[in-house]
Structure formats: C-alpha cells, structure tokens
Amino acid sequence: MSAIRTVLVSLAVAACASCAGPAPREMPRAVCGTQIDPELTRLLVKSTDDLHEYNRVDRAKTITGPCVLLAGHDPVLEFRFSWDHSATDLMYLATGSGSTSQITNPRNSEATAKTLIGTDGAISQAPCRTKSGNYFTLTLQLPKIKPGDGDHRGDIERFMRAYFPATLRTLGCR
C-alpha cells in the first residue's frame, strides 16, 4: 500500500507542476547578433512571450538592413544597421520625414558621443572603416512606447550605452 501511495503522490506532484503552465522565458542574452545584459533589454521589452528575431543585417558584407525583435507578431525593438562613406547628420535622421530613423524629441546624450536619445528610440554613430563605408549608424526604435512618453528616455540611454559599443566590437571596424 505504501508503494502505491508513493507513486500516486509522485504523480499528483508532477501533475500539479505541469498545471502551473510553462516556465516564463528569459530575455535573450544576445539581440540582433550583439551580446547584451538581459536586464538592460528588460528595461525596454516587457513581454518574453514568443520572442524571436527578423534579421536582414549582414555584418560580413556590411549591407544596411533591419533587425527586429518581436514578441509574437508585435515588434518590440526595431534596429537599423547602416554603413555610410561620410558622417550623417543624426538630427536630420531623427527629425526627418522618413520613418526609418525617426525618433521623437531627440536630445544629445551626455554619456556617449554621437548619440541622440529620444522618447521612443535612439540613434548612435561612430567611425567604422569597412568595405562599405567609414561610419556606422545604429538606429533603435521602440514601437510599443508612445512618442510623447518621456518616462523611458533614461532606460533607452542605459541600453544604448551598453548595446552600441558592444555592436561596434562585433563589426570588425578598422
């Protein structure tokens, strides 16, 4: 009787453990090919449900392209990796009429050179000699943040302070 009871208790415990649902997924340790502290990503991405990437960036060929982190079908982080022969006017990119690099209410970052931080994204640029150009520009847009919501500017800046230099290290800039 004791052996049967032990088996039944074990099955009940196993059944209860599975009733709790799947364990929550963690934030990725790399986003769009760049290692990043998951806690920094968590500042900007609230859901871990079905996180996956759509990535058209080719670092080896240094071809301009997008990379998007999605939660299900919803984009939560949108990046644009771009290589240019000359430095780009970041304020023009941030406030221009196109949607590729536009961010709301951009301000120069005090922490990092050549970075604009907006309420819903950021743009950073650095010298990066490759076969496709002499400068690399990274745009981050956060479609889940309302453009006028200034509560996330500090979180965006903390993320970019870590993400942009880490991305530069992956590019093989000369």
For 53-73, the pLDDT digits (tens) are 999 999 888 888 999 999 999
Whole-model pTM? 0.83
Tell me the per-residue pLDDT of 85-103, one tens digit each, with 9 for 90 and over.
Answer: 999 999 999 998 777 788 9
What secondary structure letter does DSSP report for 63? B
How many beta carbons lie within 10 A of that of residue 57, not counting itself? 20
Cα 62 to Cα 137: distance, rounded to the nearest angstrom: 11
Cα 127 to Cα 137: distance, rounded to the nearest angstrom: 9
Of the candidates 48, 64, 51, 43, the residue with the CA atom closest to the CA atom of residue 142:
43
Question: Has residue 159 got a pLDDT over 90?
Answer: yes
Phi, psi values for residue 31, rounded to 5°: -125, 120
Structure tokens at 174: 């000369």
Cα 45 to Cα 67: distance, rounded to the nearest angstrom: 15
